[in-house]
Amino acid sequence: MTTQLERLLEAKSTLVVVGPGGVGKTTSAAALAVQGARMGKKVLVLTIDPARRLANALGLEGLGNEEVRVDPALFVEAGVPLTSGALFAMMLDVKSTFDSLIERHAQSPEARDRILGNRFYQQASTALAGSQEYMAMEKLYEVREERDYDLIVLDTPPMVNAVEFLSAPDRLEGFLESGSLRVLLAGVRTAGRFGMGFMKLNSRILNVMNRFVGAEAFLSLLEFIESFQEMFEGFRKRASRVRGLFSSPDLAFAIVTSTDQVALDEGLAFYDRLREDGMPFGALVVNRVRTGDIATGAHDELVDRFLKVAESAPALGLRDRSRISRVARRVAEANARYDVLAEMDARRIAAARERLGDAGDQLWPVPLFARDIHDIGGLAEFGELLGRSSERAEAEASASAPQG
């Protein structure tokens, strides 16, 4: 039977995984990639901030911007051997992505070295607001152009608000075109006519500047902007092409969120935004769902039965029996409380599904696991839960349930 996930992976060759921080974006991106590889695809997962154990499992040991093939033996060990697919992983490194962008657009090796060695650049390349988001898109663009993967899954940096991600190329383009940058450039050009030496000698200007940013920093900023302006056009064109990625028909967004109301609302807001802008929605993964495996009330009955057995056990003394009944009652209470949470999650999911309307079956709930997910086996288990509509999963579960 084809699942929703299989349908999505047949239709799309790039998935961009977005969502609030800490909900399981990196895990979902890796799990989607694992499923792609299990479907026989050559897959690359571009991760941003994998937890150490996940990074280790993928063979990413701190190397930035380098593809590594995930050892097929790990799939065999996990009991999910690959037939024809392959999984590659890469850890996105903002600084080296920025560096290679400079290398690509610099007019001469001297200009390149001047920028790469510039003090202001070294700070700006990692600290500029939005540069992480932008560089993630930039890397995706590059990999799509230059490599032959069947599927690329892009993890995105932790953001205050996921919607920010969509505006990263616009913000870069906006910055490059902004009036303030032009004024600054014009100033640099004037200064340039007299040469940087003029600025250096003009101690009054520097004294004033010093109070704000420090003379040295100011000079390296001027130098940076001066060298940067040669690349301005190339950079701007690239930003607009990178933005064009968002509307590629073979790309889709996978929004990851949790049942926490704030996170869920943010996920839905992202969905609304995609709809408004005509951008392709792939799935809404609702992670860490608390599921009530035990129907409300059923555990009370179990506890009662357990207590009866305990009471009639001849070897137990009075004290043992009262201890047992105390523990049993606590278990019953904890279960009841968990059932309340599970019910709350189920209600939130139902409401979110309703909000998605026609796209309701693209909401994929994933339960809260009892442990961290940091190896191929865990990712495969997580991945298998993706993209099966709840009705289908229920039907399958009851069909495969042991009889009698």
Ligand X SMILES: Nc1ncnc2c1ncn2[C@@H]1O[C@H](COP(=O)(O)OP(=O)(O)O)[C@@H](O)[C@H]1O
| Residues binding Mg ion (CB under 5 A) | 25-26, 49
CB atoms inside a 10 Å sphere around CB 351: 11
Of 76-95, which residues contact ligand X (CB under 6 A)?
A: none
Interface region with ligand X, contact rule CB under 6 A, candidates 15-23, 193-201, 338-346, 347-355: 15-23
Strands ordered across the beta sheet of 68-69:
68-69, 86-91, 42-47, 151-155, 14-18, 251-258, 281-289, 363-367
What whole-number distance in Å separates Cα of residue 393 and Cα of residue 371? Answer: 22
158 part of the interface to ligand X, by CB under 6 A: yes
3-state secondary structure of 230: helix
Burial class from Cβ neighbours inside 10 Å (0-12, 13-18, 19+) for residue 107 reads: exposed
Q: Which residue is nearest to Mg ion (CB)?
A: 26
21 part of the interface to ligand X, by CB under 6 A: yes
Tokens at 365, concatenated = 């709930």
Q: Number of C-alpha atoms within 13 angstroms, CB side, residue 341? A: 15
DSSP 202: -
Tell me whether residue 101 or residue 137 sits nearer to ligand X (CB atom): 137
Q: CA-based angle 312:313:319, to the nearest 5?
A: 95
What whole-number distance in Å separates Cα of residue 176 and Cα of residue 131? Answer: 13
Burial class from Cβ neighbours inside 10 Å (0-12, 13-18, 19+) for residue 271 reads: buried
Of positions 364, 374, 376, 388, contacts ligand X by CB under 6 A:
374
Minimum CB separation from ligand X for residue 192, in Å? 45
Of positions 4, 13, 14, 26, contacts ligand X by CB under 6 A:
26
Minimum CB separation from ligand X for residue 103, in Å? 29
Of 293-332, which residues contact ligand X (CB under 6 A)?
A: none
288 touches which of ligand X, Mg ion, none (CB within 5 to 8 A by kind)? ligand X
Interface region with ligand X, contact rule CB under 6 A, candidates 59-67, 77-85, 116-124, 370-378: 370-378
DSSP 259: S
What whole-number distance in Å separates Cα of residue 28 and Cα of residue 32? Answer: 6
112 touches which of ligand X, Mg ion, none (CB within 5 to 8 A by kind)? none
Of positions 4, 24, 46, 86, contacts ligand X by CB under 6 A:
24
Interface region with ligand X, contact rule CB under 6 A, candidates 197-205, 221-229, 325-333, 364-372: 364-372
Helix (H), strand (E) at residue 250:
none
Interface region with ligand X, contact rule CB under 6 A, candidates 22-30, 81-89, 171-179, 186-194: 22-30
Minimum CB separation from Mg ion for residue 29, in Å? 8
Positions touching ligand X (CB under 6 A) are 21-27, 51, 158, 287-288, 366, 368-369, 372-374
